[in-house]
Amino acid sequence: MPHAYDPQNIFARILRGEIPNKTVLETAHTLAFHDIQPQAPVHVLVIPKGAYASYDHFAAEASDAEIVDFNRAVAEVCRLTGVDLGEGGQGFRAITNAGAHGVQEVPHYHLHILGGRPLGRMLARADS
């Protein structure tokens, strides 16, 4: 089944300039901005400018140029926010949520870059 994309999602509106954002980095194919409800001292969202709903959509259908640009932007965001291990930072976590089981709230692919404090285990050891 083809991936669906809702052009009214909030990140699409940010990309159209309809809603402000606190930009960290903008490149040809990628935008990075601070999360509006940060869950760590560093909490930046990296999004492609293209209309991709989720990581699997992006990975399957984005052009090579978009994929390279996105990943280089992630590296630059890590450097700019001081979490980059190569720059002497203490590390970070990169998370993407997809769909209902991933508990994705905004249906435009985004990578969360979290850092600035120890982040604990990736997932709680829930029994359920």
Applying CB under 6 A, which part among 63-71, 72-80, 101-109, 117-125 lies near ligand AMP? 101-109
| Strand 111-115 versus strand 23-26 pairing type | unpaired
Q: Which is nearer to ligand AMP, 24 or 62 (CB)?
A: 24
Q: Using CB under 6 A, which of 15, 21, 40, 50 touches ligand AMP?
A: 21
How long is the chain? 128
Q: Which two tokens stand for residue 102?
A: 């991933």
Q: What values do phi and psi take at 95, rounded to 5?
A: -130, 140
| 36 sits near ligand AMP (criterion: CB under 6 A) | yes
Q: Using CB under 6 A, which of 35, 80, 82, 119 touches ligand AMP?
A: 35
Cβ distance 77 to 25 under 8 Å?
Answer: yes
Point out which residues bind ligand AMP (CB under 6 A): 10, 19, 21, 35-37, 45, 97, 103-106
